[in-house]
Amino acid sequence: MPRLAHQVFFKLKNRDEASVTKLLDACEEYLTNHEGTVDFAVGQREPRYDRPVNADYDVALHVVFSDQAAHDKYQVAERHLKFIEQQKDNWDSVQVFDTNLRD
């Protein structure tokens, strides 16, 4: 089975530095070290990369899972659900891109 890349782009209601940092910290607290995670990265949008093709977002989350089964388990994991519950009121929009990766 192919690895699955789970990429999530968050646009916040309040786009100040404190709100961005709060979301970055929550991602690191609740979304790291889930079973089947191959790679994890989270970061904020860099204004220097402002180009017409670059989406409007504040925080990008990138998690690579060993396979779809690991991703599916993550989706219902207690820590992931707690993250959503605690953070969702801060989100203006969320875009998710799930991709099977070629080896």
Residue ranges per structural domain of the chain? 4-98
Higher pLDDT, 25 or 54: 25
In this prediction, residue 50 carries a pLDDT of: 84
Question: Over the chain, what is the mean pLDDT?
Answer: 96
51's torsion region: left (phi>0), alpha (psi -120 to 50) or beta? beta
Neighbours of 75 (CB within 10 A): 12
pTM score of the predicted model: 0.94
pLDDT in tens, 5-43: 999 999 999 999 999 999 999 999 999 999 999 999 999
Architecture of domain 4-98: 2-Layer Sandwich (3.30)
Averaged pLDDT, 72-76: 98
Averaged pLDDT, 65-71: 98
In the predicted structure, residue 90 carries a pLDDT above the cut 90: yes
Please provide the DSSP assignment of 34-58 as one string. Answer: -TTEEEEEEEEPPGGG--TTS---S
In the predicted structure, residue 87 carries a pLDDT above the cut 90: yes
For 26-61, letters b (16+ CB in 10 Å) and e give bbeebbeebebbeebebeebeeeeeeeeeeebbbbb
Averaged pLDDT, 49-57: 88
In this prediction, residue 51 carries a pLDDT of: 87
